[in-house]
């Protein structure tokens, strides 16, 4: 099993504060003979609709010397996980979680803006220090 990201516990705390139930840590997917480990699986019960929203969250810290390399690796991994998840559990939504610092960094630059504008990925922005969720991109359509 891969090592956990340095902000793993911070992300869990942010999701729990936002009323998410952590269901899998990690969320394990299998395709053919390959095992994949998404950092977290979570669910949220929508009381009004009596439905459950399910997400899988892959956390990336973007701490290397090259934000571009971090972005390339994160997007590549996201695409693999996204395509497998759509086959095995299509109702579960995949999010890439990043701290507010890389969001205000590479995701605010033209290359990051392009990724978001082209809807290449769903982004969960959180503040690791305050352990709160800042933004869901695109917005999670949830009436809690």
CATH number of the domain to which 78 belongs: 3.40.1350.10
Per the structure, the count of domains in the chain is: 1
How many residues are listed for the chain in this entry?
144
Residue 82 in any domain: the answer is yes
- The residues that bridge with 45 in the sheet, in sequence order, are 52
Residue 62 in any domain: the answer is no
Residue 56 in any domain: the answer is no
Provide the domain limits for residue 110.
Answer: 8-51+70-133
pLDDT tens sequence across 72-125: 999 999 999 999 999 999 999 999 999 999 999 999 999 999 988 888 899 999
Residue 77 in any domain: the answer is yes
Residue 84 in any domain: the answer is yes
- Confirm whether pTM is higher than 0.85: yes
Those residues with Cβ within 8 angstroms of residue 43's Cβ, 6 or more apart along the chain or in another chain: 20, 21, 23, 52, 53, 54, 55
Residue 31 in any domain: the answer is yes
Tell me what the pLDDT averaged over the chain comes to.
Answer: 92
Residue 118's alpha-carbon distances to 24, 30, 58, 122, in angstroms, are 29, 28, 19, 11
């Amino acid at each position: 099993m891969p090592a956990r990201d340095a902000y793993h516990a911070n992300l869990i705390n942010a999701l729990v504060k936002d009323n998410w139930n952590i269901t899998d840590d990690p969320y394990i997917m299998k395709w053919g003979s390959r095992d994949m480990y998404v950092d977290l699986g979570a669910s949220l019960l929508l009381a009004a609709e009596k439905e459950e929203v399910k997400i899988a969250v892959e956390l990336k810290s973007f701490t290397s010397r090259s934000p571009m390399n971090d972005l390339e690796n994160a997007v590549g991994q996201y695409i693999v996980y996204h395509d497998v998840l759509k086959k095995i559990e299509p109702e579960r939504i995949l999010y890439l979680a990043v701290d507010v610092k890389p969001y205000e960094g590479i995701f605010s630059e033209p290359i990051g803006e392009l990724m978001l504008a082209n809807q290449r990925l769903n982004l969960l922005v959180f503040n690791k220090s305050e352990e709160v969720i800042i933004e869901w991109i695109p917005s999670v359509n949830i009436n809690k």
